[in-house]
Amino acid sequence: MNTGLNLHKLDPLSKLVALFSVALLAMYWDTPAPLLLLLTLLLVLARYGAGIGWLKLLGRMGYIILFALPLFVITAISVPGEGAQLFPGLSISAGAVSYAAAISLRMFCMFLSSVIYIWSTDPQDFVVIMANRLKLPYRLVYGVSMALAFLPLLEKEGRIQAQARKLRFGRAPRGLRERAMLRRESLVAVFSGAIRRVEQTAGAMEAKGFGAYSSRTYLREVRIERSGYVIMLTSLIFASVMMMF
């Protein structure tokens, strides 16, 4: 994709600023038309800027419909009518539908822009730039790295614990009570296992010099290039201009 804009190459901070600008705009508008335009723009960006395949995009959009559709229906029903009644008997007005559509589109925009961000950003780069550029204390920022590393481990641990319980239990549980007990016990086991690991992990980290100095160096280099500053500025200016008119 040589469209001139490769989002993967952009630093996480500039992208974050752009993301928040999009969010501000999406929240500012409450009519469908501009939001639809924004969504189209985001779709194009997702496909050609971040390189997400159409199929994948469709899947993600399908997921968010599960949330957006109920929101649409409920908003359409509960918003007091302005304008013509669409269905006689049901108090759904054209105004309400338009507002509901805007709200749902807003949700799409927020979600899609986030998908683009996640897709094109390595979390570790995010951590590095937070510590390096924003000068946040690295020990705290590393909490994010750890949490992201724990995530798949915890999930795996949860799966394995549940399996281990079943295996050790050695027979089919009878009734809801036994089932609930098994479920609860494996949840407790995963959680206390995680807590137990905290001290060991902290010890191992300090043994490797975590917290030795107030700063540290980084093997990966994450720099904000000129294009990053351009993106930041453009998105901010664009958002403010749009909101002024």
| Region 147-186 residues binding another protein, contact defined as CB under 8 A | 147-158, 160-161, 163-174, 185
Cβ proximity to another protein: between 86 and 185 the closer is 185
Is there a contact between 35 and 43 (Cβ–Cβ < 8 Å)?
Answer: no
Please check whether residue 194 is in contact with residue 154, taking contact to mean a CB–CB distance below 8 angstroms.
yes
Q: Give the CA distances from residue 4 to residues 10, 50, 134, 236, in Å, rounded to whole numbers and listed in that order.
A: 12, 11, 28, 21
Q: Does 125 bind another protein (CB under 8 A)?
A: no
Residues sharing a CB contact under 8 Å with residue 238, sequence separation 6 or more, in sequence order? 21
Beta-bridge partner residues of 93: 85
State the minimum distance, in angstroms, from the CB of residue 26 to another protein.
9
Looking at residues 197 to 216 of the shown chain, list those that interact with another protein (rule: CB under 8 A): 197-216
Contact call for residue 75 and another protein (CB under 8 A) = yes
Site for another protein in 42-71 (CB under 8 A): 63-64, 66-67, 70-71
Residues from 223 through 242 that contact another protein (CB under 8 A): none
| Min CB(85)–another protein separation in Å | 17
Distance in Å, CB of 226 to another protein, minimum: 20
Q: Does 221 bind another protein (CB under 8 A)?
A: yes
Query: Residues 114-119: contacts with CB within 8 Å, 24+ apart?
Result: 114/19, 115/46, 115/52, 115/60, 116/7, 116/42, 116/45, 116/46, 116/49, 116/50, 116/52, 117/15, 117/16, 117/19, 119/7, 119/46, 119/50, 119/52
> Which of 48, 142, 229, 238 touches another protein (CB under 8 A)?
142
- Residues 16-45 binding another protein (CB under 8 A) are 19-20, 23, 27, 30
What is the C-alpha to C-alpha distance for residues 190 and 165, in angstroms, rounded to an integer?
11
Among 36, 144, 224, 236, binds another protein (CB under 8 A): 144
CB of 84 to another protein, least distance (A): 18
